Structure 1
Amino acid sequence: MKKNVLIIGAGGVAQVVAHKCAQHNDVLGNIHIASRTVEKCQQLVDSVREKGSLKVAGELQAHALDALDVEATKALIDKTQSQLVINVGSSFVNMSVLQACIESGAAYLDTAIHEEPEKICETPPWYANYEWKRRELCEANNITAILGIGFDPGVVNAYAAVAVNEYFDSVSDIDIIDINAGSHGKYFATNFDPEINFREFTGEVWSWQSSSWVSNRMFEVKRTDDLPVVGEHTSYMTGHDELHSLSQNLNVPNIRFWMGFGEHYINVFTVLNNLGLLSEQPVTTAEGQEVIPLKVVKAVLPDPSSLAPNYQGKTCIGDLVKGKKDGKDKEVFIYNVADHAEAYSEVGSQGISYTAGVPVVAAAILIANGEWDVQKMVNVEELPPKPFINLLNTMGLPSRIRDEEGDRALSF
């Protein structure tokens, strides 16, 4: 059994991860949190202790770390005797942390695809540009590396796998729909790192259609769905991490990702983008100072973690899957509904962070107990989905399914 966890990152998702690891430290062992700013890590440690989240007595410590420094990350893994590394830092550090895990022997988990600061929306499939290049190295060193194990990507990949394997003879379409029906009360804010958030929407929108990559612009294609609990919402087709692995690992010709946006968000985003303020490329001011517009916008927007206390409402995220069963057309919607206020009450974070943070801890538990300790690099749809979904049902993210038989809890 693998023990001891090193959490890299100290944002809103890391807060959830820290609390959930503490709630399961009888399985996961000692907990260490590291980021560039040790004070932020200590705030997470204090939050866990204040809420009494530790299930059993154990270490809970904060550390300063530049996660781009492979040698420093290796040294911290060795110092803390961590066998599980949960990377919920910036996507820019993925490859450095992964390399440190390969060289130190620790299991690696992340929640988003790697990015390079100066590049946006690279040639798909994006995983092939970075992570997948180290598949052979992971397998040669018996390293378990689970990529994209948040909610989307992550849980939605497991939903896709269970739909394909359990409910259909053939699948024609998977539409992943992400709706946040909550309100944070701010004029404008993003629910996670603004820099990463905006980068998803300023380049090409890639989708998998008729078994090939199709490019659109953001907000060009939309749909409206009547969803459980949150009701009728409009969402827009956008590119997203999970499309880049699902398209390669599942034999499904059409896989798309849809995210809900209000008119106010679209208007503000459009103005910022048209002014060039969402550019990742440096510009020089009249005073001769070089700045990156996107980083300036990030600096003036609210910290996503600051939204949690006043966040109200719910999220609905799931997979609408269509295909054939016994020669007949079939459709299922497998989904989760999360509540912002409930997330804040439990772990001090808003619902978006909660849905991203809980799954990676569930995956760490499955690695620790051997069920997902595959000793190679995988995306979530390549793993057995049933133990994962069942575990999430007990950890605050219950799954449901809606089909011709009605709407009911999903468990195995």
Structure 2
Amino acid sequence: MRILLVGAGGVGDAIAKIAATRSFYDIFIVSDYDFARAEATIAWIRARHGDRVASKFLAAKIDASQAAVVAELCLNHKVTHLINAVEPKFVPTIFSAAYTAGVNYIDMAMSISEPHETDPFHKTGIKLGDGQFALHDQWERSGKLALVGCGAQPGLSNVFARYAAENLFSEIDEISVKDGGNLTVRDADGNELFAPHSSIWTTIEECLNPPVVYERSRGWYTTEPFSEPEIFEFPEGIGSLECVNVEHEEVTMLPRFIRANRVSFKYGLGREFIEVLKTLQKLGLDQTKPHRVRSAQGPVDVSPRDVVAAVLPDPAKIGPQMTGKSCVGILVTGKDLDGKDRATFLYHVADNSETMADLDAQCVVAQTAYAPVIALELMASGAWRGAGVLGPEAFDAVPFLDLMASNFGFSQKWVAQERLPASPLRHP
């Protein structure tokens, strides 16, 4: 296996560092538009693991916006598998480049959506991932696999859903993906900062778009942003958080393979974060279309969202200032294998102090980085095989979870926690 990693930012950097602890590949190319950033990742690997491990890593400069450049790098290095670890806006380009080069592909965030033109808060337009799933037959004929949405959420959450459907439940009423944490970022004087834990570009996209909900009786539909608030108790000391509907890939992915009456995604954002996002939208700072701006050097075209991303702390660099934990999980309700009511919360918690010690990476990016490396190792062993455009829910969850938790694997504990069954939620 010869791997090309596109993007050495927070998640990409963590992917390479995790991969450095494994031996299933022949070469691992770390590429980024900023060549120094790719070199820094490999320098960390050399300092932590020595020259023998670092000798399997190679740094390269890449422009992810140019499909021909990405494809050429794949061909020049005889790449077999490409990991896309850059912003979702680059998905079409890199996805196309992988197909052109004839390599297998993996990403953690899928092609972006477009709201319904006339009724965005009731009807779906182009859903997350539609642009990729539309090319399933083309990829299948090529004999190559595009494993899409394989991070933490989506990714690990999809694996949990497949495991629950096959091993814990005979009928599923609802799969409700939950994302929450008690993370705090402070400056040198101890003052709490507003610092998103993952890409603000992506956060704006998923939080301000109309959330998508799936119901088997009516299919996919949308609601207002931040709808259907509920208080959910997160485990391992995180505590109670208000969670709201947010657009996310799992809702568009899981119903394709798993039978459930309802699928939703809820994010424990917090009041302050929601108000900041609403303000950005009100001011037009969520826009991606460039605007002409006067500067000392003359007129320049600037994307408002890129400006917001530039002035906020870099999520890849806030780890030393961060404390707390992040939880990725799904609450599944329905009937157990004996036909009795069951509610199970399957989850993984990442502690920032531990991920900083192990990977020098803050916990949210580290949590996202484990799944693609685990999936690649399963592909290398033959435990996961397939062709076409598929999500993690299309594959057997047991090998993934076994490798994830094993001391000989990735030593990442996951939990299936029983909750008190409640009456199935019914929404108008």
> Normalised by the size of structure 2, how large is the TM-score?
0.88
Which one of 37, 40, 56 corresponds to residue 40 of structure 1? 37
SS state at 2:150 partner: coil
SS state at 1:207 partner: strand
Q: Which deviations, in whole Å up to 9, do the C-alpha atoms of 1:345-372 show, x marking residues without a partner?
A: 1111111001100110000111111111
Equivalent in the alignment of 1:201: 207
Q: Which deviations, in whole Å up to 9, do the C-alpha atoms of 1:272-312 show, x marking residues without a partner?
A: 22222122233344675443211111111111111111211
Equivalent in the alignment of 1:180: 181
Q: 1 CA distance for matches of 2:114 and 2:340? A: 47
Equivalent in the alignment of 2:282: 274
| Contact 2:115/2:126 (8 A) holds in 1 | no
- Displacement, 1:53? 7.1
Q: Which deviations, in whole Å up to 9, do the C-alpha atoms of 1:305-343 show, x marking residues without a partner?
A: 111112111112211101113332111111111101111
Which one of 20, 25, 46 corresponds to residue 18 of structure 2? 20
Letter in 2 for 1:183: T
Which one of 257, 271, 277 corresponds to residue 263 of structure 1? 271
Is 93-102 or 197-206 further displaced after alignment?
93-102
- Identity across matched positions, percent: 24
- Displacement, 1:15? 1.1
SS state at 2:353 partner: helix
Q: Equivalences for 1:177-256 in 2 at 5 Å?
A: 177-185=178-186, 186-209=192-215, 210-229=217-236, 230-256=238-264
Equivalent in the alignment of 1:362: 374
Q: 1 CA distance for matches of 2:116 and 2:26? A: 38
Is 216-225 or 349-358 further displaced after alignment?
216-225
Distance 1:215 1:376, change over 3 A: closer
| Contact 1:162/1:385 (8 A) holds in 2 | yes
Letter in 1 for 2:93: S
Equivalent in the alignment of 2:104: 107
Q: 2 CA distance for matches of 1:38 and 1:134? A: 32
SS state at 1:176 partner: strand
1:60 matched to 2:72: no
Letter in 1 for 2:101: S
Letter in 1 for 2:211: V
| Contact 1:23/1:55 (8 A) holds in 2 | no
1:123 matched to 2:125: yes
Q: 1 CA distance for matches of 2:354 and 2:268? A: 21
| Contact 1:118/1:281 (8 A) holds in 2 | no
1:308 matched to 2:319: yes
| Contact 2:116/2:125 (8 A) holds in 1 | no
1:401 matched to 2:399: no
SS state at 1:242 partner: helix
1:50 matched to 2:56: no
Q: 1 CA distance for matches of 2:319 and 2:168? A: 37
Alignment size in residue pairs: 401
Q: 2 CA distance for matches of 1:282 and 1:73? A: 25
- Displacement, 1:258? 0.8
Q: Equivalences for 1:252-401 in 2 at 5 Å?
A: 252-285=260-293, 289-325=300-336, 326-394=338-406, 395-401=410-416
Equivalent in the alignment of 2:150: 149
Distance 1:103 1:293, change over 3 A: closer
Distance 1:39 1:56, change over 3 A: closer
Letter in 1 for 2:48: K
SS state at 2:20 partner: helix
Equivalent in the alignment of 1:408: none
> Normalised by the size of structure 1, how large is the TM-score?
0.91
Is 110-119 or 10-19 further displaced after alignment?
110-119
Which one of 77, 81, 87 corresponds to residue 80 of structure 1? 77
| Contact 2:46/2:53 (8 A) holds in 1 | no
- Displacement, 1:71? 2.2
| Contact 2:183/2:323 (8 A) holds in 1 | yes
| Contact 1:109/1:147 (8 A) holds in 2 | yes
Is 64-73 or 208-217 further displaced after alignment?
208-217
